[in-house]
Amino acid sequence: MRGAASTERLTPRSAGFSKILIKVQGFVQFESAGGIHMKRFLLASVIVSLSAASTLAADIAPRPYAKAPVVVQVSDWTGFYVGGAVGARVADSQWTTLDLGSFPVDPTTNGARFDNAAARVGGIVGYDWQLSPAWVVGVEGDFGWANNRSSSAGFPGVDASEFFQSQATDAVSLKLGWDASLRVRAGYLMTPSTVLYVTGGAAWHELKAGAACFGADASPSFCNSIKTVSTSVVKTGWTVGGGLETTVWRNWNARIEYRYSDFGHVTVFMPETPLVGDSLTGKVDVRTHTALVGLTYKFGDPAAAK
């Protein structure tokens, strides 16, 4: 056979080369088979290494920052409270003469103003209801005292050309004492701890209006005799105003407030000296302006808490 004869005719040199070639081919085949396993081994090693690196990186990486929980401020204005207030009360009042007996009223001299201010101190008591997160209503009473005193020389409305000396000897006066009110409040919560409110209701005022006449030969006046009269009364009126109240610490609330009050008028009558006709009738319109700062304590839970 040709193939067998060809193999037998190989020279030693060519036979040695063939052995080498066969060995090389076998090594290559072995290397090829081994290379597949080696590649698989290397790939597995790489995967394991990457997994370990990722785990290590996760361990050493900084942990994400956790924000503190948001604190929500809540309010509960419902409850009973008491407190006190200090401030000023300004009298805004006027005397008008209505009648001078046998003499006409001079419109050019009629009218006397009683405008003055006095320090006021008082107490507060009330109850609030919080209807919603934004609205509060309540009822409140207060009592205060101030000493507003005013007087005006002469009788308003007297003809100055005829009774000019009366301006130095006669006088009308007004004194305001205690005041009180019972009101409703309605407020809007600007924040859970601060309410802007309006208020209004009934008011009472103790007052004294008077007139004094010092008629005598040595000191001429409108009157022909010495006479002094006064009217003391507690007048009922109305008041309206507004303010701002805020929680300053736990159950303590502070406020600022302004109120306007109107008490109508009071009448003063001085009878005439017999057969002379020197009577006097006047009215005093009484109004006040009150500005105050106050501090109250709310029972129960604070009006605003965190």
Segment 74-97, tens digit of pLDDT: 678 999 999 999 999 999 999 999
Helix, strand, or coil here: 41? helix
Phi, psi of 235, deg, nearest 5: -90, 140
Say what the pLDDT of residue 19 is.
Answer: 45
Say what the pLDDT of residue 93 is.
Answer: 96
User: Stretch 200-223: mean pLDDT, rounded?
Assistant: 85
> What's the mean per-residue pLDDT of the chain?
81
Sign of CA dihedral 273, 276, 277, 282: negative
Burial per residue of 180-204, b for 16 or more beta-carbon CB atoms within 10 angstroms, e otherwise: bbebebebebeebbbbebebbbebb
The structural architecture, per CATH, of the domain 76-305 is: Beta Barrel (2.40)
User: Stretch 37-59: mean pLDDT, rounded?
Assistant: 48
Structure tokens at 270: 């001085």
User: Stretch 117-142: mean pLDDT, rounded?
Assistant: 97
**Residue 270 — pLDDT band, cuts 50, 70, 90?**
very high
Phi, psi of 26, deg, nearest 5: -65, -40
CA distance 140 to 121: 16
Segments of 154-225 assigned E as strands: 171-191, 194-214
End-to-end CA, the chain? 109
User: Stretch 147-166: mean pLDDT, rounded?
Assistant: 81
Say what the pLDDT of residue 32 is.
Answer: 44
Say what the pLDDT of residue 278 is.
Answer: 86
**Residue 24 — pLDDT band, cuts 50, 70, 90?**
very low
Residue among 301, 90, 104 nearest 192 (CA): 301
Say what the pLDDT of residue 75 is.
Answer: 73
Most confident of 81-85, 107-111, 216-220, 271-275: 81-85
**Residue 217 — pLDDT band, cuts 50, 70, 90?**
low
pLDDT over threshold 90, residue 281: yes
Phi, psi of 147, deg, nearest 5: -120, 80
CB 61 within 8 A of CB 252: no
Residue among 82, 184, 186 nearest 143 (CA): 82
pLDDT over threshold 50, residue 1: no
